[in-house]
Structures are given as structure tokens and as C-alpha cells.
Amino acid sequence: MSFYLPRIALNRFYVSLIVLSCWSTPLIVHLYKRDEAKKRLICLICDCALDLVAAVVIPCVIIATYVKDFDMELQGFPMEFWYDDIWNMHAIHEFQILLVASWNDLATRMVFSVGMLIAMSDIKDLLRARANAVSVPPASTPMGEIQPVCALVLINCYEFAINGAKEDIDAQWSRLNPEMVVEAVIRHCPVLEMPSIIQQFSHMLILKVYNTSITEWSADSALTGTYHPNLASLYLIRVNMTDGMLPPGLLSPEFPSTLADIEMSTTNLRMLPDDLDTKWPTDGALMFEYSEFTSIPAVVMRLRPFLLSFCGNPIEEIPSELFAVESMYYLHIGDNQKLKALPANATLSGALGQFYLERTQITFFPSWLDPLVDFAVKEGFQTFRAVGTPYCEYATSVFNDSLSNADAMVAVRAKTKTPAMLGPGKPSILMDTSESTRPIIYRAVVCGVGTEWTFFPLSTEDRQSTLR
């Protein structure tokens, strides 16, 4: 269990329990060797107390550390916590103590509970003054490791006064037990050459590169399903890549099928290989935020993401085929002043449930978006995030609670007599200026300042990863 307790104080407390468990019985036997009944009673009480601490007290202490972070309105933890390296690593390990992960895990947990019940039953029998043989529970000893055990491995080139050459990274990572690495983080490296030792991190779940220029990431150090069978998330944040293209290390034919969360923000990436759908897994989350794409590559549609973000890219035209991707629930194309219109005609997938187009120049919603409007009204939550668009500027009166329906729509009608509000394509119900549409617009569209956001929490990452 000590591997799952990264907090030093809690880890030491658990180790002390193991030591106490090992020595309590012989100590009690020595102190009460002439009083058989009392000796057995105190042994049982100690066993019961230790089982209670291991099965109940430690999980309660862990839960208490997360209570302040839990958001009752969200019914969960805010997203920014999951991008905090230390908090996330604590959660990954400590939640495995709180939750049952397998049948073997369940059987192991039952040992403490069953032991506690047996001890209480024996105490009850002993207090009835029935003579029984005394049994000494077996002692347990902690396991040791030769190499340092680190779940979170951080390479900070600035602090280590290195550039990020292979030998520099290799010298740091070779001192660790590679089997225990769960997350690897690389920061502030001006010339990163990814070493092949990364292929020894067979239990790695997360790889993050921040504020770094990747000059070499060859196939010899590639991410593959063979070497990284559990890899789940890849983050490239404030990263430059050679020629604005993905390095060979991210294009292996054996790319991990488990890597369904690929997030890139503030990079110089400008294109994707046409055969990327034959290498990367489908139905995942893809984020290429604040990069240099001028169009959305066709291969993205073939990857069938359930979440897609090209937020902050200078894209002038959105392909109509994008809206037909059956697996996509979240789509973010916002924070782009060059985007002025949506396709006049498109087939809308029934899966789309959240559409982010904030801080664009979009003024007109075509009629093919009406099924998404109907979805918003039916489900009771707003599906269009349009704060900072000309549409929201024109529709300001709709969200003014002090105006009646009639007055609000008269005010909207006075603002919308512009060519941009007339096309292209057949207008959506969101463009209707009749009184009956005000509740529909209110329930479907978000225009409130402060509701805009990117999928990757860049500001949170900057705070925790800044130069110190």
C-alpha cells in the first residue's frame, strides 16, 4: 500500500502501523506472559484496532484531504485539478486505495475487514471466560527497493542547467526504477532530444512536455503499444517541433491504442500526416489549440474524435464534413477572428452536443444547426457557446431580464438589419426575431462574459510550470 501513498506523512504513518503490527504481539506476550487471558485479550484488541485503522481510518483521512477540492455544483472535481501534476498523481494513487479496482483488490481489502470481525468475535468469546488456545498472527515486513521509486518524474532543464540532450535526460532517468514511473514531465528544455530510455517506462500513464523545443524524437524512442501499454494522455504545451510537423517518435505504426487523450496547446504545429488515422487511435480527444493550422486536415475526420478543438488557430473556413462526424460530442473552433461564417449547408451529426465558437466573427447561424437547438431545449442546457461574437452583440437584448419579450425582440430587430445577418444559407430559428424565439435563444446560446474557455487549462499549467 505504501506505493499508493505519495504523501510523506501518510506514508510514514502507514509504515509505522506495519512496524507496530510486527512488534505488538511479541511485546504483549513478553509483558503479560503470566496472565494468559489478559495477554490474548490485548492481542485481539490490538489486531482489531490496527485492522480498523488500515480499513477505515486511512481511507477517511484520504477522503478528508479531497473534501475542500470537491465542487458540489459540478458534482465532481474542477477540471483544472486534473491538469495539476502533483494533485493528479496523488489522486491516481490514492483513489486506488478508496476504490476497488479488481477482484484481487477486493480480496485483499477483505483481509482487514474479516480480520477485524474475527478479532471482535474472539474478544466476545474471551469475555465469556471460555478458555481457548492462543494464536500469534504472522509478522509482516515492508518491501524494499534498490533504486529510487518515483511515480512522478520531472526533468526541469532550467533547474538542472542542461539543454535537453539525450545524455542529459538519460543521466537523470537511469537512476530511477522505470517500472514505477506513472507520469513523466519535461520542462524548459531549449534543445530536447528524447532518449530511448523512455521506452523502459512500461507503466507510464501520462507524458507532458512544456515550454520546450523538440529537435529530435526518433523512432528509437517512439511511443509504442509494446513499451507503453498503459499510456493514456499526451500533453505538448508551448512546444516547438521541427518544421511544424509531428516528430517520428509520435508516428509509430505501433502507436499506443490506449492513448486516447492527445492535447497540444500553443505550438508551431501546422499540418498532420495524411495517414495519421492508420497510426493514432480513433474515438479519442484531440486538441490542437493555439497552433498554426490554416485549415482542418481531412485526416481529423477519419480519426473520429469525440472531442475536437482547433481553438485559436487562424482558420478561415470550416469544412462541412466536420459536422457529420458521428462520434463527435464536443467541438471548439473559437478564439479565431478570421472565422466569419459557418458552411451554408452541412449534415449535422446527431452526436454533437456542445459547440464552442466564442470570440469569432460569426454572425449568422444556418438552419442545419436547428437539431442542435432542439437538443438544447429538450435537454435543458445551452449547447452554443458564442460569447464575444457579433451574434451575441446583436442579441444582447435577449439576455436583458428587465425587458419584456416584445421589447427585447424589437431591440434585436433594430440591430440585425445588416447583410451579415442574412446569410449564407437558410436562417436558423436562432435568427428569428419574433417574440416566441426569445426563450429558445436564451436556453440554447451562452453569451455571458466570463463563460469563455479553452479545453486545455493553459493558465493553470503556466502557474504550476513557470520558471522558478
* Residue pLDDT, tens place only, 277-334: 999 999 999 999 999 999 999 999 999 999 999 999 999 999 999 999 999 999 999 9
- The fraction of the chain above a pLDDT of 70, given in percent, is 88
pLDDT digits (tens, 9 = 90+) for 444-460: 999 987 766 788 999 88
What mean pLDDT do residues 247-270 have? 97
Residue 215: predicted pLDDT: 96
What is the number of other CB atoms lying within 10 angstroms of the CB of residue 275? 12
Q: What is the pTM of this model?
A: 0.78
pLDDT digits (tens, 9 = 90+) for 140-196: 333 445 555 678 899 999 999 999 999 999 999 998 889 889 999 999 999 999 999
| 81 or 258, greater pLDDT | 258
Contacts (Cβ under 8 Å, ≥6 apart) of 360:
333, 334, 335, 336, 337, 339, 340, 388, 389
Please report, as a single letter, which amino acid is at residue 18: I
pLDDT digits (tens, 9 = 90+) for 359-404: 999 989 999 999 999 999 999 889 999 999 999 888 888 888 778 8
Asked whether the predicted pLDDT for residue 260 surpasses 90, the reply is yes
Tell me: cis bond preceding 427? Omega within 30 of 0 counts: no
What is the number of other CB atoms lying within 10 angstroms of the CB of residue 293? 18
Rounded distance between C-alpha atoms, residue 197 and residue 179, angstroms: 12
CB 62 within 8 A of CB 98: yes
What mean pLDDT do residues 202-222 have? 96
Contacts (Cβ under 8 Å, ≥6 apart) of 11:
2, 5
Residue 285: closest CA among 326, 250, 330: 330
Residue 37: predicted pLDDT: 66
Residue 146: predicted pLDDT: 53
| 191 or 465, greater pLDDT | 191
Whole-number mean pLDDT of the chain? Answer: 85
Most confident of 66-80, 127-141, 171-185: 171-185
Rounded distance between C-alpha atoms, residue 128 and residue 130, angstroms: 6
Rounded distance between C-alpha atoms, residue 37 and residue 137, angstroms: 17
Asked whether the predicted pLDDT for residue 344 surpasses 70, the reply is yes
Asked whether the predicted pLDDT for residue 243 surpasses 60, the reply is yes
State the sign of the Cα–Cα–Cα–Cα dihedral 162, 164, 167, 172: positive
- Measured torsion, CA atoms of residues 144, 148, 153, 157, in degrees rounded to the nearest 10: 180
Residue 138: predicted pLDDT: 39
State the helix-helix crossing angle for 103-126 and 36-52, rounded to 10 degrees.
Answer: 150
